[in-house]
Amino acid sequence: MRTDTGHVFKLEDYRPSDYLIPRTSLDFRLSPDATRVTAVLTIERREDVAASAPLVLDGDGLTLLGVAVDGQALAPAEYQATPDQLTIPKPPAAQRFELRLETEIAPSSNEALMGLYRSNNVYCTQCEAEGFRRITYFLDRPDILSVYTVRIEAPHNEAPLLLSNGNPVESGALADGRHYAVWHDPFPKPSYLFALVAGALGKVAGSFTTLSGREVELGIYVEPGKEGLAGYAMDALKRSMKWDEQAFGREYDLDVFNIVAVSDFNMGAMENKGLNIFNDKYVLADEETATDADFANIEAIIAHEYFHNWTGNRITCRDWFQLCLKEGLTVYRDHEFSADQRSRAVKRIAEVRTLRAHQFPEDQGPLAHPVRPRRYREINNFYTATVYEKGSEVVRMIRTILGPQTFRAGMDLYFERHDGEAATIEDFLKVFEDVSGRDLAQFALWYHQAGTPNLTVSSSYNAAAKTFTLEIEQSVPPTPSESRKRLMHIPLAFGLVGAGGKPVAWTAVDGAAVEDGVIHVRKRRHTVRFSGVSERPSVSLNRGFSAPVTLSVQQKADDQFFLASDDSDSFSRWQAFNTLLTDALIAAFRQVLGGKEPASAARLAELAGRIAGDETLEPAYRALALSLPGEADIARDIGKGIDPDAIFAAREALARTIAAANREVFWALYDSLADKGPFTPDAASAGRRALRNILLDYLSLLPEGTALAAAHFRAATNMTDRAAALTVLAHRHAGSPQAEEALATFEARYRGDALVLDKWFQIQAGVPGAQTVDKVRTLMQHPAFSIANPNRVRSLIGAFSSANQTGFHRADGQGYRFFAETVLEVEKRNPQVAARLATAMRSWRSLEPIRQDKARQALLQIANAENLSADLRDIVERTLA
Ligand code: PHE
Ligand code: ZN
C-alpha cells in the first residue's frame, strides 16, 4: 500500500519528460507468487535535453533483479533502486539506448487490484491510472506513447489462454508443459492502456465487418460454464461498433477485439487497447439473473469502453488533469448511443436524475472540484461524477451552442488533428473554435470552475404592451479553494407555452442572444424581453436540461401544474411534475419536523393518476414520473438541518396519499401490464415492467399490500420482477413473514451465484430504519460475503452507507461508527475501494447538529488511524476541511 507522501500534483507543473520510450518489449513468466517480468525499453533522449540528464523511472513496490544498458549489466554504483523509483544518474550519451529491466512480482498477494493480480485463478492487469509501475519501472505517465510487443509464458494447464493488447503474432508449446504467446500492438499507447490476461476461460466468439471491409474477430471471455450469459454483451458490442461508424465515422483498427470478464475489479470496466477488461457484473446477464437496469448498464458500459478506442486510446490525455478529455467525452458518446438504441426522452430523464443524485452533491460539498482539476494528491480519487457526468454535460452544451453539424465537424477535426497524440482540454476546445469561428473562452469556465451554477428567474407579462419579460440572474456558489467565481456562459433552452401546450409566438427579443430556442446567459443579470406576445405564456426553462444548473424560479403552482400536464417538451414536462413532488415533499418535511401531519396533496395525487394512465406517454416515462424523488434528493434540495427520519416520514406520507387516491386506476393498470409472451430485454418491454413495478410499490402500501407483493414475487419469471417484489417486501414490509420467506427463497435459489446474491445483500442493506446496521454486520459473516471483493463490499457496505438514509444516519451515530471501522478494514487490502466508500460522508455538514457531530467523530476516527493510504487520507481530509 502506498502511504501518503502529502505531495500535491499541480497542473501548472506539467513539463514534458526528458526521455521517451518509443518501444517496449515485455516478457512475462507467470507464476502466482513470483512472476518474472523482463522489460526491454528503447529509451530516447529528447533533442533539446542535455546528455547528462538523469533517467528517473516510476515504480511502486517493485523488486529489481537486474538492470542492463545496451546489453551491459549495470554495476550497483551506476543506479539507485527503491521499490518506488529507479534512477540512472548518468545514462549513456547516445541519444537512443536500450534499457533492460528484470523485476519480480507476486500477483496472488496483490489485493489492491492494481498492476498484475489474480482473480478467480485468472491473471489479469489493471494499469489505469498508475498501475503499470507495479509491473516494471517505467515513465508511467500518459504522454509517453510506446509500441508494445508482449510475450507471455505459463504452464499450459494453469493458463491455456494468453492474451495481451493488439494482434496475436505467434504462439507455441515449450518444454515441461509450458507454452507461450506473443502479441504486438502497432498503435503507440500510454502504459495505462497495457493489459494482460492469462488463465482458463470460456470464449464466446463473434465477428464484425467494418465500414471499409476489415474483418474483426470478436471474443468475450468468461468463467468456463458462463458462456451462455455473454450473448447480450456480444450483441451490444456489435451495435456499438456499427453506431460509432454511423454517428462519428469511427472504425475499429485491429484484427481482434477481446473482452474479458473478471470477478474482482475495482471499477466498472477498462478500455485497454484491443483487450477490454470488465467487472463481470457488466458482462454476464440473462433474464434469470439480470434486471432490466443491469441490461441497460451492460449495453452502456460495453459501448463506453469500445468508444474509448478513439476517445482515449487513439487520442489520449497529456496528463491526468485532462482525465475529462477522455471520460467526459466518452460518457457523452455512450449517452448518445443509448439514446439512439432506446428512448431518447426517457434516457435523458434518467441521466439527469443520476447527475443530480451523484454529481450535484459532490459539486455542492467539500469534495467539489472543477471538471478539469488543477491539483490532486491521489489521482484515483478523481474518477468522479464531476469528471465523468458533468464532463459529459459540458460536451453536450458545446453541441447545443454549435448545433449538430458544426459539432460533428469539430469532432471530425479533433480526430484528424490529434490522432496519435496525448492532448489537452485546450486542444479539444480549439477544434470547436476553429470550425465555428466562435470564442469559447467564457464557455471554457465549465472546465475550470467548480460548483453548480444557479439561475434565479422571474417572469412578467404586460398584456397592454404584449411583452413578456424574463429576469435572469446567475450565481456560482463558492467551493473549496475557489471563493470568487467568474460569470459563466450558460445555454438555457426554453419555451413559451400557451393553451394546449402550443408554443406562444413572439416577434422580437432583446436583452440576451437568443438562438434556436436557447437563451445565452453570459452576464450576471439579463432582462430578456420578448415582444409581440399576444397571450400570457407559461415558461418552460432549461428544456432537455440544456445546462447542468439549479433553477430558482418564481412560478405559480398553477403554471407548474399546467406544464406538468401540457408542456410539449417531454423532459420539461417530467421536470415540472418532479418539481411539484419535491415542493410537496419539502413542505411535508417541515410539517413533520414541526410535529404536524403532512398536508394532503390531493391535486398532486390526482395528476399522478392521470400521468400513470396516459396512454400517449411511454410506460418507461410514466414509471420515471411516478417514482418519487429519493430521500437523498429531497435532502439535497432542502440543503441543511437534515433529519433523515423526518424526510422518510414525509415521503411515506406522500406515497400513501398517491396510492390511496389512485387505487382503482393503479390496480387496473397493474393488471393490464402483466407480462405476456417470452422475455425480451428491449427498452419498450423494460418500460412496461418498470411501470408495473412502480405501481406494485404504491399498491403495496394499501391493505393487502403484503400479499400482493408476495404474489408478485412468486409469479415473477425474470429477475427484474423478482428483485422489485423482494425490494418492496423487504423495505415496505420488513419483518413480515412474507418478507422473511421471500428473502430465504431468494437466498436458497441463488446461493451459488455471487452476482445475484449481491442484489440480496444490497436489498437488505437498504431496509430503512435503525435496525439495519446490525443486520449488515451479520451479513458480513455470510459465507458469500468477502471483504476482499469490491462487488461484495459495494453491495453491502456501499449500499448501506450511500443509499440507506435512515439506517446509516441513525441518530445515535451507530451507523457512522460501523462505517469507520469497516472502511479501515477494507483499506488494509484495497485503499482505492475504501476511499470511494468514504465519499458517502461528503454531505455530512448538511445534517442536523447532533448527527453532524457524530459524523465528524467517525471521520476523525478514520483520519487518526495510523499509516493511512494516500487514497483514504486525501478523501477524509478534504471531507473534514
Ligand atoms: N477508464 C475506465 C473507464 O471509465 C475506468 C477505470 C479507471 C477503470 C481506473 C479502472 C481504473 O472506462
Ligand atoms: Zn471511461
Asked if residue 462 and residue 443 are part of one domain, the reply reads no
Query: How many whole angstroms from 46 Cα to the centroid of ligand 1?
Result: 30
Q: Which atom of ligand 1 is nearest to the CA of 305?
A: 12
| 302 and 322 assigned to the same domain | no
- Ligand 1 geometric centre to CA of 679 (Å): 32
Please indicate whether residue 387, judged by its CB atom, sits closer than 6 Å to ligand 1: no
Same domain assignment for residues 200 and 100? yes
**pLDDT tens sequence across 224-272:** 999 999 999 999 999 999 999 999 999 999 999 999 999 999 999 999 9
What is the 8-class DSSP label of residue 203? E
355 and 406 in a single domain? The answer is yes
C-alpha cell at 844: 455530512
**Backbone phi and psi for residue 509, each to the nearest 5 degrees, phi listed first:** -145, 145
- Count Cα neighbours of 337 within 13 Å in the Cβ-side half-sphere: 30
In whole angstroms, what is the distance from residue 22 CA to residue 80 CA?
23
Inform me whether the pLDDT recorded for 728 exceeds 80: yes
* pLDDT at residue 389 is higher than 80: yes
Q: What Cα–Cα distance (Å) separates residue 513 from each residue in 210, 492, 520, 529?
A: 43, 11, 5, 11
Q: Are residues 75 and 13 in the same domain?
A: yes
Q: Which ligand is nearest to the CA of 382?
A: 1
Q: For residue 695, tell me if it sits in a domain.
A: no
- The answer as to whether 23 is a domain residue is yes
Domain-located, residue 368 = yes
Can you give the pLDDT at residue 4? 74
In the block, residue with C-alpha cell 435523458: 348
581 lines ligand 1 (CB under 6 A): no
Average pLDDT over residues 774-780: 98
* Domain end (from 390, 423, 448): 448
- Beta 19-29 vs 85-88: how paired, if at all? unpaired
Tell me: do 302 and 349 sit in the same domain: no
**In-domain check, residue 192:** yes
What are 831's three cell numbers?
485503499
Q: Residue 482: CB within 6 Å of ligand 1?
A: no
Name residue 13's amino acid.
Answer: D
Kindly indicate the confidence band of residue 140, based on its pLDDT and cuts at 50, 70 and 90.
very high
- Categorize the per-residue pLDDT at 769 as very low, low, confident or very high, splitting at 50, 70 and 90: very high
Kindly report whether the global pTM for this prediction surpasses the value 0.90: yes
| Domain final residue pick, 489, 517, 541 | 541
Q: Is pLDDT above 90 for 676?
A: no
Ligand 1, atom 3: nearest CA belongs to which residue?
A: 270
CA–centroid distance, residue 182 to ligand 2 (Å)? 27
Cβ within 8 Å of residue 356, ≥6 positions away: 633, 636
User: Quick one: which atom of ligand 1 is closest to the CA of 304?
Assistant: 12
Statement to judge: residues 271 and 338 lie in one domain: no
Yes or no: say if 65 and 51 are a contact pair by the CB < 8 Å rule. no
Ligand 1, atom 12, lies closest to the CA of: 270
Reported ipTM = 0.99
| 439 class by beta-carbon count within 10 Å (0-12 exposed, 13-18 middle, 19+ buried) | exposed
* pLDDT tens-digit readout, 821-868: 999 999 999 999 999 999 999 999 999 999 999 999 999 999 999 999
326, 225: one domain: no
Distance CA 346, CA 480 (A): 34
Residues 218 and 117 in one domain: yes
Q: Which residues of 121-148 are buried (b: 16+ CB within 10 A; e: fewer)?
A: ebbbbbbbbbbbbbbbbbbbbbbbbbbb
Q: How far is the CA of 268 from the centre of ligand 1 (A)?
A: 7
Distance, in Å, from the CA atom of 48 to the CA atom of 46, rounded to the nearest integer, reads 6
Average confidence score pLDDT of the chain? 98
Whether residue 503 is predicted with pLDDT greater than 80 in this model: the reply is yes
Q: Rounding to the nearest 10 degrees, give the CA dihedral for residues 132, 134, 139, 141.
A: 50
Question: Is 128 close to ligand 1, i.e. is its CB under 6 Å away?
Answer: yes
pLDDT band at residue 642, thresholds of 50, 70 and 90?
very high
Domain with 527 in it: 456-541
Q: 305, 336, 351, 378: which one is catalytic?
A: 305
Closest residue CA from atom 5 of ligand 1:
270
Confidence of residue 599 (pLDDT cuts 50, 70, 90): confident
- Give catalytic status of residue 305 as yes or no: yes
Closest ligand 1 atom, residue 131 Cα: 11
271 lines ligand 1 (CB under 6 A): yes
Q: Kindly state whether residue 834 falls inside one of the protein's structural domains.
A: no
- The pLDDT tens digits for 419-470 are 999 999 999 999 999 999 999 999 999 999 999 999 999 999 999 999 999 9
Residue of 119, 259, 265, 271 best suited for mutating to test ligand 1, as the one with most atoms within 8 Å of CB? 271
The predicted model gives 118-145 an average pLDDT of 98
CATH number at residue 348: 1.10.390.10
Judge if the beta carbon of residue 363 lies within 6 A of ligand 1: no
What was the pLDDT predicted at 554? 86
Residues 305-328: pLDDT tens digits? Answer: 999 999 999 999 999 999 999 999
Q: Domain containing 508 — which CATH number?
A: 2.60.40.1840
Of 429, 448, 467, the residue at which a domain comes to its end is: 448
pLDDT over 80 at 5, yes or no: no
CA of 507 to the centre of ligand 1 (A): 50
32 within some domain: yes
Confidence of residue 593 (pLDDT cuts 50, 70, 90): very high
Task: Determine, yes or no, domain membership for 612.
Answer: yes
| Average pLDDT, integer, range 575-587 | 97
Query: What mean pLDDT comes out for the span 691-713?
Result: 98
Closest by CA to 113, choosing from 82, 134, 85, 142, is 134
The pocket of ion ligand 2, defined by CB under 5 A, consists of 327, 330
Q: Answer yes or no: is 233 within a domain.
A: yes
CB-based contacts of 338-345 (< 8 A; 24+ apart in sequence): 338/296, 338/299, 338/300, 338/303, 340/243, 340/247, 341/239, 341/243, 341/299, 341/683, 342/296, 342/683, 343/618, 343/620, 343/621, 343/683, 343/687, 345/570, 345/571, 345/618, 345/621
- Nearest residue (CA) to ligand 1, atom 8: 270
Nearest ligand to the CA atom of 131: 1
Nearest to 427 by CA among 561, 319, 325, 299: 325
> Residue 543 in contact with residue 495, Cβ under 8 Å?
yes
Q: Are residues 564 and 522 in the same domain?
A: no
* Nearest ligand to the C-alpha atom of residue 271: 1
Strands 167-173 and 178-189, by their bridges, are antiparallel
Nearest protein Cα to ligand 1, atom 11: 128
66-83 per-position pLDDT tens digit: 999 999 999 999 999 999
Could you tell me which residues come within 8 angstroms of residue 559 by beta carbon, excluding any fewer than 6 positions away?
538, 539
Q: How far is the CA of 37 from the centre of ligand 1 (A)?
A: 24
The confidence score (pLDDT) of residue 6 equals 85
Cα–ligand 2 centroid distance for 555 (angstroms): 39
- pLDDT by residue (tens digit) across 156-189? 999 999 999 999 999 999 999 999 999 999 999 9
Residues 518 and 586 in one domain: no
Ligand 1 contacts CB of residue 679 (under 6 A):
no
d(Cα 266, Cα 131) in Å, to the nearest integer?
12
Say if residue 263 is in the same domain as residue 381: no
CATH number, domain containing residue 215: 2.60.40.1730
Q: Report pLDDT for 431.
A: 99
> Which of ligand 1's atoms lies nearest the C-alpha of 301?
12
How many Å lie between the centroid of ligand 2 and the Cα of residue 8?
A: 24
Percent of the chain with pLDDT over 70: 100
Task: Work out how many domains the chain is built from and give that number.
Answer: 4
